[in-house]
Structure 1
Amino acid sequence: MGAISGASLQGIPKSYATCSIGCRESDTLPRKLEAIKKAGFTGIELSFPDILGYGGQILGHSIQPKNTTELRKVCSDIQKLCDKNGLKIMMLQPFANFEGWPVGSAEREDAFERATVWIELMKVLGTDLLQVGSTDSPKEKISDDRDTIVTDLRELADLLAQNGFRLAYENWCWSTHAPHWKDVWEIVEAVDRPNIGLCLDTFQSCGSEWADPTTSSGLIEGLSSAELSKKFSDSLHQLAQKVPGDKIYLLQISDAYKVSPPLEDKVVDGLRPRGRWSHDYRPMPYDGGYLPIEDFAKAVLQTGFRGWFSVEIFDQGQDGKGIEYEMDSYAQKAMRSLDKLLQNCATE
């Protein structure tokens, strides 16, 4: 695989997901944006729950997630706040459980209604990118037929294209049908639209192909350490060779704690083990995690990708019970960790 020059990484734009900062009730969206800006980030992934939370704050009542009239007003205020802080709204996220519902079902109707609402909000926010996570709906409820998945996403891509918008499709490591980067890439290729690409994530891919929160080793078991390393290395080589850099829209950055004792291998509160791991055990790089995130980031960069590196961390501490921090210093620490990651990815 090709060399990665340090000079080519100097212009990498850096973003922060608003859902992954703040631990107190006083950590409102305006304060989040201020902390992110002070740390030197130039963009954000705007989280829909943050829109709802800020809307409740300024309107004095909770907002229904399909109340387009009220949501548009709130998003107009958010767009002004971002302008004030010099932050680009790089993406709206996380659009979940969209694909695979039976034709004619209430769930499929709801999915497309939600898409229509979110597209209206994207117009107000000034962002052109929608993140869609590979669904984790149970197999008993959705189809895992690849043609059905592709048809749904193609229809969504075409809806977005009417407004010049793009779709960033992400593999969630606990997804029902697409837990690996290769799964979502094959789907993106089959959708075959110019406005669909990948949202890759260091946690999601390392967490699906290399690690396992339900084992005492923290690794996927059933094969030797050498076999696991080779299998993961081969996957990274395929990523670097097969995926064009311009079909990667962003790389999300986080690590993971090795959970001790391991998580129980069962569904809890509707979440599979890797889903619970994702929600609570994802620190920033170089802060106690153990995933080979540098190796994954290098493979992504070897595609020629030089787009957004975006911090998306969900750190409730190694015990998953929560941590306290001050947002300004926390965001600054995240920036330092991101800079270190980029430095370590340079091979020349």
Structure 2
Amino acid sequence: MNHRNATTVDLRSDTVTRPGPGMRAAMAAAEVGDDLFGEDPTVRALEERTAALFGFSAALFTPSGVMANQIALQLLVGPGEELVCDAEAHVLAHEEGSPARYGGIQTRTVAAPRGVITAELLAGVVRRGNAYTLGSRAVEVEQTHTRAGGTVQPLAALREVRELTAGLGLAVHMDGARIWNAMAASGTSAAQYGSTADSLAVCLSKGLGAPVGSVLLLSEENLARARKLRHGMGGGMRQSGILAAAGLYALTHHVERVAEDHDHARLLARGLRDSGFSVRPPETNIVLVEAPGAGEAVARAAEEGVLVTAPDPGTVRLVTHLDAGEKQCRRALEVLIAVLTETGAGASGLRARGPAAHERRDARRTRTQESEVAA
């Protein structure tokens, strides 16, 4: 069911964006071929451009970030071998158990504050292995960290992890689904981040506004096997240059503007905090609000045309993106302040119930309708 209309503000994720006229024109004009035969020139152009940007020798276009991550993990960790990652990593929490299901990979986790993996944390966890003990084979880091609220893995920490793992003979995979946000927030270049990992998956639909697709960056020597794994997972596409063209357009037009999303996230966080709510300071484009009864708040906000999510029963999540500008964020802020107050999430702990709450909601709906007419 499509919840969106012309006045809806959708802050559920930065994946909800829709291609604009320029991107659609690029897709319509794309030169294509059969990519399973390696003959789609637009796909090759996207792969070559992304590999060069991050300093890798090869790249592979995939339908999704989950597929890109799972291909990478199977390249680095064999069945019955061990991957070390954060306990709240996307590859564990949001990828349907794929490391174990499809790769036969055992995982060992660390509880990383704010999702930031450090060499110090890893030193006490990774295992060298011997004839009687399973050894670790790779470490996974996430940039930015989704469940921690879009936190950035600092370049210095990544370099220390790289130094530690190199000394132990371990590989590093980076789930860089929102690496564009990390680049904008930290000023770190793509090549600098790329130098800290053996493989790196970047998403084109999170932050950059493409309709679908990720790119797995890896070594040339692993490319043939990666292509076979993609095919076996059902990711072998044909004239996929139509999709790759959207990615190329996004790389040209949407990377630098990601910083605007961070400005809007700070606007939302500041407004909610000033109204008495507990908000985790956003580092990038994800805002986490402490909200007992979050599910009720999400449902009420949807009634007012503002779509957000509840990653757990006590948290409301907002994600800014290129389809939600300042005007839309300010409208969302007004609705969320009222809704969170009514559901008792404010610092005062007061719960507005009964006729008074409905009267306020009706008044707010009237104000919204009047502003839409005026616009």
Q: Is the pair's TM-score, using the shorter chain for normalization, greater than 0.5?
A: no
The structure whose Rg is larger is 2
TM-score w.r.t. the length of structure 1 is: 0.30
